[in-house]
Amino acid sequence: MTKTLSERIALFTGRNKNTGKQFLPAFIALKPDIEQALQDGWTVRQIWNTLHDEGRIKCSYQWFRTLVNRHIGDDRKQKLRTASTKPAITDQDGFRFNSTTEKEELI
């Protein structure tokens, strides 16, 4: 008797519980090295290729990229936001340019 597709999927899923959580400890252990490589200008793909070839990371590139975005990407975005905050430009005549609109000026 042939099993239905749903039954075969349930059997396959039960045997292969690959959720990606087993890759997180290795990634966290390598996080300082990965951050440093990103600051040095290497791409995520180059970092993954090297670590994967060395056997230090066993996950796919897509999963590695997800881990980078979750655990390093937020830190990098926050640093970029704080670094890009520029003070208002002031002219010698007292003209002040501010790229943000203030509600008081609109009324």
Q: What is the pLDDT along the chain (107 residues), one digit of tens a residue?
A: 688 998 888 887 766 666 667 889 999 999 999 999 999 999 999 999 999 999 999 999 999 999 999 999 766 556 656 665 555 555 566 677 777 777 777 77
Tell which phi-psi region holds residue 30, choosing left (phi > 0), alpha (psi between -120 and 50) or beta: alpha
User: Are 58 and 52 within 8 A, CB to CB?
Assistant: yes
Of 47, 29, 38, 46, whose CA–CA distance to 80 is shortest? 38
Cβ-in-10-Å burial (0-12, 13-18, 19+) of 48 comes to: buried
Q: What is the pLDDT of residue 85?
A: 59
User: Distance between CA 22 and CA 3 in Å, rounded?
Assistant: 31
Residue 17: both structure tokens together: 């519980």
Q: What is the pLDDT of residue 92?
A: 62
The vertex-98 CA angle with 92 and 104, nearest 5°, equals 115
The DSSP bridge partners found for residue 96 are: 90
Residue 28: both structure tokens together: 């966290």
Q: What is the pLDDT of residue 55?
A: 93
Query: Could you tell me the pTM of the whole model?
Result: 0.56
